[in-house]
């Protein structure tokens, strides 16, 4: 049987069978595009880039960490691959390339599969906060914070029942204690991290995360609905260096140690508050993330990026739970710190 074509073959124009998938998709393009020659041949490079981005997102767990922790670096900024998808789509339109436009559907589908759930709000702000048994908040206050008292009061004004602070300079602990005294009756500080609570604290102790000094602690909070083990942690910083790549080995070792401590926890309800210097996608935090849930992923609105405060690009500050149910999760207004404070409401 003779086969019909949408374009003539003269002058080297590409032929597209009307009954093929490409032909059917081509029918969705603007009429002036269909009249042009070469709409299927233009934008091949863009199409290849779209396919490569899709493969990188879909197979991000296969990107090796042996070379400069490239896998962890990719996973840290994985949500931002969506920007690349948009740029390729725009370029495809400008190039009037049917091939590139169709190809960009592949990374779009992969991105939506990974992060589409975060685009729909899961919390109802004040209504959901009121339904929770416990509101918690955490903030890396920054050791160079020019207004520690104001920062403490701003975060306390959120209404959190339990507040964790990280990066507390020894010389400013008294300032934070004084600023929070009226709101929180109970508190404990271990090294550079602290926990303030409206409910009694027991079993307070440092947690060894293999750093040589204390940057993690745990305590039992006697909430009316039952005891909750609360961990506060500040993982070592990571750096991106041209000669060394993503330098995160110390952070990774600390995450393993923290994961071991949480695994040994005997209290059923566990909440982890802190600056983990890593995202939920980062495989190197698996010792922690494999046994706990992110409140943002379960009950948050959007990605909840917390760092850097001036233009948040990653959620490296985390509220994670085990044995409790997240109700709502959100970021708090900016303080003089380079991190945004975050908060969550949970039911016990």
Given a cut of 70, is residue 181 above it in pLDDT?
Answer: yes
Q: Hey, what long-range contacts does 128-131 have (CB within 8 A, 24 or more apart)?
A: 128/299, 128/327, 128/328, 128/345, 129/159, 129/327, 129/328, 129/345, 131/327, 131/345, 131/347
Q: Are 221 and 162 in contact (CB under 8 A)?
A: yes
The pLDDT score that the predictor gives to residue 1 is: 46
Confidence tier at 72 by pLDDT (50, 70, 90): confident
Return the minimum-mean-pLDDT range out of 37-41, 77-81, 341-345. Answer: 37-41
The pLDDT score that the predictor gives to residue 22 is: 54
Q: Are 78 and 281 in contact (CB under 8 A)?
A: yes
Give the model confidence (pLDDT) of 145-161 as tens digits.
999 999 999 999 999 99
The pLDDT score that the predictor gives to residue 12 is: 42
240-275-325 Cα angle (round to 5): 130
Q: Residue ranges of the domains in the chain?
A: 10-118, 123-347
Give the model confidence (pLDDT) of 256-311 as tens digits.
999 999 999 999 999 999 999 999 999 999 999 999 999 998 898 889 999 999 99
Strand partners, 270: 229, 322
Place of tokens 């209504």: 127
Distance CA 109, CA 347 (A): 34
Return the minimum-mean-pLDDT range out of 27-31, 65-69, 184-188, 270-274. Answer: 27-31
Confidence tier at 121 by pLDDT (50, 70, 90): low
Pairing assessment for the beta strands 226-234 and 270-275 based on DSSP bridges: parallel
Return the minimum-mean-pLDDT range out of 120-129, 209-218, 223-232. Answer: 120-129
Confidence tier at 28 by pLDDT (50, 70, 90): low
Strand partners, 133: none
The pLDDT score that the predictor gives to residue 9 is: 43
Give the model confidence (pLDDT) of 241-267 as tens digits.
544 445 578 899 999 999 999 999 999
Q: Are 288 and 327 in contact (CB under 8 A)?
A: no
Residue 78 backbone phi and psi in degrees, to 5: -55, -40
Q: Which fold has domain 123-347?
A: Deoxyribonuclease I; Chain A (3.60.10)
Distance CA 16, CA 215 (A): 64
């Amino acid at each position: 049987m003779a086969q019909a074509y949408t374009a003539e073959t003269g002058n080297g124009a590409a032929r597209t069978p009307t009954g093929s998938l490409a032909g059917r998709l081509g029918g969705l393009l603007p009429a002036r595009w269909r009249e042009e020659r070469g709409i299927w041949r233009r934008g091949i490079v863009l199409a290849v880039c779209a396919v490569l981005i899709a493969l990188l997102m879909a197979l991000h767990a296969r990107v090796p960490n042996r070379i400069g922790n490239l896998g962890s670096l990719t996973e840290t900024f994985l949500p931002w691959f969506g920007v690349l998808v948009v740029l390729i789509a725009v370029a495809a339109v400008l190039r009037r390339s049917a091939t590139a436009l169709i190809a960009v559907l592949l990374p779009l589908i992969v991105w939506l599969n990974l992060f589409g759930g975060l685009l729909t709000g899961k919390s109802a702000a004040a209504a959901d906060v009121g339904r929770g048994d416990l509101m918690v908040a955490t903030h890396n206050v920054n050791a160079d914070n020019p207004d520690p008292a104001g920062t403490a009061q701003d975060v306390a004004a959120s209404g959190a029942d339990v507040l964790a602070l990280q990066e507390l300079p020894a010389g400013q602990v008294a300032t934070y204690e004084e600023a929070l005294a009226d709101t929180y009756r109970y508190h404990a500080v271990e090294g550079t991290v602290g926990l303030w609570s409206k409910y009694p604290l027991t079993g307070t102790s440092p947690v060894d995360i293999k750093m040589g000094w204390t940057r993690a602690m745990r305590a039992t909070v006697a909430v009316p609905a039952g005891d909750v083990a609360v961990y506060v942690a500040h993982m070592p910083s990571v750096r991106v260096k041209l000669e060394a790549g993503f330098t995160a080995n110390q952070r990774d070792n600390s995450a393993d140690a923290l994961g071991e401590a949480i695994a040994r926890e005997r209290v059923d309800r566990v909440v982890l508050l802190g600056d983990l210097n890593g995202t939920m996608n980062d495989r190197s935090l698996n010792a922690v993330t494999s046994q706990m849930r992110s409140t943002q992923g379960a009950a948050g609105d959007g990605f909840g990026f917390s760092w850097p405060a001036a233009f948040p690009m990653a959620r490296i500050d985390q509220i994670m739970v085990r044995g409790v149910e997240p109700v709502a999760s959100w970021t708090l207004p900016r303080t003089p710190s380079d991190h945004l404070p975050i908060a969550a409401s949970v039911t016990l």
